[in-house]
Amino acid sequence: MRIVVAGGGVVGLWIAMELAAAGAEVVVADRGTPAGVAAPVSAGWVVPLLSAPLSGPGVLLRAAERLARGRASFAVRPALSPALPRWALAFLRSGSARAHRDGSRALLELGVPAVAGFEKLCRTHPFELHRTGLLIAARSPHGVAEAAELVEDARAAGYTGPVTTLDGARARALEPALGERVAGAVHAGDELHVRPEQLLDALATAAGERGVEIRRDAPVLGVERSGHGRWRVATARGALEADRVVITAGVWSADLLAGLGVPVPLLPGAGYSLTSAGTGTRPRHALKLLEDNVAISPFDGEVRVAGMFELAAGPRPPVPRRMRHVVRMALPYLRDWRPSRARVGYGLRPATPDSLPLIGPVPGREGVYAATGHGMLGLTLAPGTAEHLAPLVLGGPVPPVLEPFSLTRRSAARRG
């Protein structure tokens, strides 16, 4: 069976690798230009603990408080774009306590293979992988309580990893890069973080060794029927015939699906990151700075600071002041680390209104599948997505674990 995977990001490569391991002939067609691609600029966290959807009870109140204090970690632009109201409405609709709880459970289950999947790949194709766990640091007693609540919610959704609660002094003893203003932290010992650029290289090598043909510089222009139940994938470098097609082009999947007559509510949630050796005490742990939603990842010799969720009506050029804002929010948590001579990155997270990815058959287009919309968790969810989607593409039934991610679920199905 010949399968074309449209999009060679973290999700597409992981799926291609699984399909080839199961014996399929796989070609990955990728656009090849890095602008806006999410994974390489990401924080590299593999964090099933953080599986909760963004929408949920109290989220608007918390967002308003942060906006009022000038510490918002989100933005919308342009504020009055016609593409946003429908997404925003679906976001609000998916914010009930029940939807939040069900969404957390579904995401957590999809994230179960994550840690073992990264460990396994790293054993055969080494890349930077850090096992120091995730430290969620808060600057106020209120923030410490919020961190505890986050853990409690994850436990209720089925999270079983070890978590230790620390007061400010113990948090600083564990992580000397934290400053005096940190009031407390929770440490989740099982979470990992990786250097995402190296991960992508390792994935491409592993997939290639399993026989996957990766065509860079081959943006997919469209997918159409070619007769006898087969598909033709038009790329800028010629057409590819396929028995099955899997659309994994991150946020750009929305255009390919719209071309097939299947619009999906997928918008770019832009994020920013800065990578620098910096000066001062470098963190040793992946740090989530709770009140300000900033992610810090220490890599070998460098530190990455990442944040912002800028919901845009379509791919747009980056706004440099957003990165400065993220760094300004991070510094009060840190003892004395400061960035110097930094590289700034910008990536578009494929964001659905209910924070659940779109994984499964494309309705009415037999033989075409989608795996996109992984939002804030694409690295974490890539191994589970691949593990469960590959047997389906090869002819199996939709497994129960993928049912919540159907393209026909209420918050995903759209007409016209």
Ligand X SMILES: Cc1cc2nc3c(=O)[nH]c(=O)nc-3n(C[C@H](O)[C@H](O)[C@H](O)COP(=O)(O)OP(=O)(O)OC[C@H]3O[C@@H](n4cnc5c(N)ncnc54)[C@H](O)[C@@H]3O)c2cc1C
Sites of contact with ligand X (CB under 6 A) = 6-12, 29-31, 37-39, 41-45, 219-220, 248-250, 252, 271-273, 295, 306, 347, 349-350, 372, 374-380
Minimum CB separation of residue 84 from ligand X in Å reads 19
Smaller CB distance to ligand X: residue 172 or 195? 195
- State the Cα angle at 19 between 358 and 22, rounded to 5°: 135
Minimum CB separation of residue 167 from ligand X in Å reads 26
Could you tell me which of 99, 105, 110 has the C-alpha nearest to residue 56? Answer: 99
Minimum CB separation of residue 350 from ligand X in Å reads 5
Sequence-distant (≥ 6) Cβ neighbours of residue 410 within 8 angstroms: none
**Alpha-carbon gap, residue 118 to 129, rounded angstroms:** 8
Smaller CB distance to ligand X: residue 8 or 265? 8
Backbone angles phi, psi at 229, to 5 degrees: 75, 10
Bridge partners, 294 (sequence order): 289
Beta strands in 133-173 (DSSP E): 134-138, 163-167
Residue type, 232: R
Q: Are strands 129-130 and 192-194 parallel, antiparallel or unpaired?
A: antiparallel
Number of H helices, E strands in the chain: 11, 21
Could you tell me which of 193, 191, 261 has the C-alpha nearest to residue 222? Answer: 261
Minimum CB separation of residue 382 from ligand X in Å reads 7
Could you tell me which of 5, 340, 343 has the C-alpha nearest to residue 204? Answer: 5
Q: Secondary structure of 18-81 in the HEC alphabet?
A: HHHHCCCEEEEECCCCCCECCHHHCCCEECHHHCCCCCCCCHHHHHHHHHHCCCCCEEEECCCC
Minimum CB separation of residue 11 from ligand X in Å reads 4
Minimum CB separation of residue 240 from ligand X in Å reads 11
Smaller CB distance to ligand X: residue 169 or 239? 239
Minimum CB separation of residue 87 from ligand X in Å reads 17
Smaller CB distance to ligand X: residue 117 or 378? 378
Smaller CB distance to ligand X: residue 178 or 306? 306
Smaller CB distance to ligand X: residue 357 or 404? 357
Minimum CB separation of residue 138 from ligand X in Å reads 19
Residue type, 357: P
Torsion of CA 237, 242, 246, 250, to 10 degrees: 10
Minimum CB separation of residue 8 from ligand X in Å reads 5
Cα radius of gyration rounded to whole Å, the chain: 21
User: 264 by DSSP, 3-state: which?
Assistant: coil
- State the Cα angle at 213 between 358 and 208, rounded to 5°: 95
Smaller CB distance to ligand X: residue 168 or 345? 345
Distance between first and last Cα of the chain: 33
**Alpha-carbon gap, residue 10 to 199, rounded angstroms:** 8
For the chain, percent helix, then strand, then coil, each to nearest 5?
Answer: 35, 30, 35
Smaller CB distance to ligand X: residue 6 or 24? 6
Smaller CB distance to ligand X: residue 172 or 202? 202
Smaller CB distance to ligand X: residue 325 or 374? 374
Quote the tokens at residue 12.
């597409």
Minimum CB separation of residue 256 from ligand X in Å reads 6
CB distance 104 to 377 below 8 Å = no
Minimum CB separation of residue 26 from ligand X in Å reads 14
Smaller CB distance to ligand X: residue 45 or 333? 45
**Alpha-carbon gap, residue 199 to 40, rounded angstroms:** 9
